[in-house]
């Protein structure tokens, strides 16, 4: 025998609660319906709607800068990478709060933005200022597209990149031989793969001498690590490695490196302190790879493809630094020659 239905219960088992909405010109009353798995949940939804029913809808362009940037992240969170979201959240907290963050969008003008930029430039690096302004700019494009912003940003500083040499990489590999860090370095230097890409690899991605790169390990807003798809199409690629690299990983089952990107950076930094080579970042192993490929005559389009770069901007920066280093060496040779002509 079927159980008798409870009050407000639908044939589906769900519960419906109706709340008065308005009366039309003909005197007919209209009600708003709320359906939920229990009568209590339906009543709560109805009560919340009723409490907010008569509140004026927020005017989008009357938001404060802080509110607008947070709203921008809400809209974009489905397409931005976790690391980008985390960076933007930090910018909002540190640079788009307080007095400037409280300014309402209709009150915002070029002068206020320029003062904010100038004050920020006195405290943080040009790169940080540009990142903060970048978030503000895209937010204004979304909520007040008619606002014409023209400000002067601090000049970019030339990146001080050290590009490891063959000798640096050889010393490093000899020192970490037989460790998990060795595998990470081999994949970064001869791939060149990123930290997140390395940490997301498993034995299923290895096919003969080819490794398929289709995922990356990233840190979420909750500071937990997640394996996700790359944020750019160019990051999807298949990279063929030399035999000696594949020999190091061919018997591994599961993740090729059982670490997260931060741990790789930490271990790498500690190891470098024990070796007689210049300090450089783990990421600079990618620059090493690009510089070597460029030096042996590999066309840029293939370097871009192998490294998963979206543009050649980074490569050009690497090349410039390699050329600068080579210039130092050549200048020394020139001066050594001229020293021989010094009058006795």
Once rounded to an integer, what is the mean pLDDT over residues 91-120? 94
Q: Is 85 exposed, middle or buried (0-12, 13-18, 19+ CB in 10 A)?
A: middle
Of 91 and 324, the one with more pLDDT: 91
Name the DSSP letter for residue 158. Answer: P
Once rounded to an integer, what is the mean pLDDT over residues 115-130? 94
Q: Can you give the pLDDT at residue 38?
A: 75
* Residue 249 shares a structural domain with residue 320: yes
- The verdict on residue 56 lying in a domain is no
Q: Can you give the pLDDT at residue 19?
A: 85
The structure's pTM equals 0.62
* Residue 123 shares a structural domain with residue 83: yes
Q: Can you give the pLDDT at residue 1?
A: 46
* Residue 38 shares a structural domain with residue 65: no
Q: Which residue intervals of the chain are DSSP H helices?
A: 39-52, 65-76, 82-95, 98-101, 110-121, 126-143, 166-175, 180-190, 195-200, 243-249, 261-272, 284-295, 300-307, 313-339
320: domain CATH number is 1.10.443.10
Among 98-107, 153-162, 216-225, 285-294, the minimum mean pLDDT is found in: 153-162
Q: Can you give the pLDDT at residue 137?
A: 94
* Residue 127 shares a structural domain with residue 69: yes
d(CA 121, CA 136): 15
Q: What DSSP letter does each residue of 94-121 carry, written as one string? A: HHSSHHHHTSBGGG--HHHHHHHHHHHH
Token output for 84: 């980008």
Once rounded to an integer, what is the mean pLDDT over residues 32-36? 78
- The verdict on residue 15 lying in a domain is yes
Q: How much is the mean pLDDT over the chain?
A: 85
* Residue 178 shares a structural domain with residue 250: yes
Handedness of CA 258, 261, 265, 270 (dihedral sign): negative
Residue 168 has pLDDT above 70, yes or no: yes
* Residue 106 shares a structural domain with residue 202: no
* Long-range pairs of 316-320 with CB within 8 A, sequence gap ≥ 24: 317/159, 317/161, 318/161, 318/163, 318/287, 318/290, 318/291, 318/294, 319/290, 319/291, 319/294
* Residue 229 shares a structural domain with residue 320: yes
* Residue 129 shares a structural domain with residue 241: no
* Residue 21 shares a structural domain with residue 72: no
What's the domain count of the chain? Answer: 3
Once rounded to an integer, what is the mean pLDDT over residues 44-61? 66
Indicate the residue among 143, 158, 175 that finishes a domain: 143
Of 162 and 226, the one with more pLDDT: 226
* Residue 3 shares a structural domain with residue 66: no
Once rounded to an integer, what is the mean pLDDT over residues 29-35? 81
- The verdict on residue 112 lying in a domain is yes
- The verdict on residue 149 lying in a domain is no
- Percentage of the chain lying above the pLDDT 70 cut: 86
State the Cα torsion 237-317-298-244 to the nearest 10°. Answer: -60
- The verdict on residue 332 lying in a domain is no
* Residue 314 shares a structural domain with residue 182: yes
* Residue 78 shares a structural domain with residue 107: yes
Give the structural domain span for 170: 166-326
107: domain CATH number is 1.10.150
């Amino acid at each position: 025998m079927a159980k008798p239905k409870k009050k407000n219960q639908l044939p589906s088992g769900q519960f419906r609660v109706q709340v008065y909405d308005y009366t039309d010109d003909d005197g007919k009353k209209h009600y708003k319906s709320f359906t939920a798995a229990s009568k209590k949940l339906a009543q709560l939804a109805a009560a919340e709607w009723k409490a907010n029913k008569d509140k004026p809808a927020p005017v989008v362009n009357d938001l404060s800068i802080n509110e607008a940037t947070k709203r921008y992240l809400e809209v974009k969170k489905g397409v931005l990478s976790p690391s980008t979201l985390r960076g933007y959240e930090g910018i909002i907290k540190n640079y788009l709060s307080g007095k400037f963050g409280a300014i309402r969008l209709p009150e915002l003008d070029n002068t206020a933005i320029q003062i904010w930029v100038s004050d920020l430039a006195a405290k943080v690096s040009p790169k940080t200022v540009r990142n903060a302004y970048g978030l503000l700019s895209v937010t204004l494009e979304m909520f007040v597209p008619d606002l014409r912003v023209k400000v002067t940003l601090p000049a970019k500083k030339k990146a001080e990149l050290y590009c490891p040499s063959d000798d640096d990489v050889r010393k490093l590999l000899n020192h970490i031989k037989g460790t998990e860090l060795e595998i990470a370095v081999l994949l970064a230097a001869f791939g060149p793969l990123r930290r997140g890409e390395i940490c997301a690899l498993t034995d299923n991605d290895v096919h003969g001498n080819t490794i398929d790169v289709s995922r990356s390990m990233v840190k979420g807003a909750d500071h937990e690590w997640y394996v996700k798809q790359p944020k750019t199409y160019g990051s999807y690629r298949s990279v063929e490695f030399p035999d000696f690299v594949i020999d190091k990983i061919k018997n591994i089952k599961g993740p090729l490196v059982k670490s997260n990107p931060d741990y790789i950076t930490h271990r790498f930094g500690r190891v470098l302190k024990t070796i007689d080579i210049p300090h450089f970042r783990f990421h600079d192993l990618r620059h090493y790879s690009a510089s070597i490929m460029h030096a042996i005559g590999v066309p840029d389009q293939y370097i871009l493809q192998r490294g998963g770069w979206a543009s050649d901007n980074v490569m050009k920066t690497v090349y410039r630094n390699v050329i600068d280093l080579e210039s130092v060496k050549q200048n020394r040779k020139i001066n050594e020659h001229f020293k021989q002509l010094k009058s006795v």
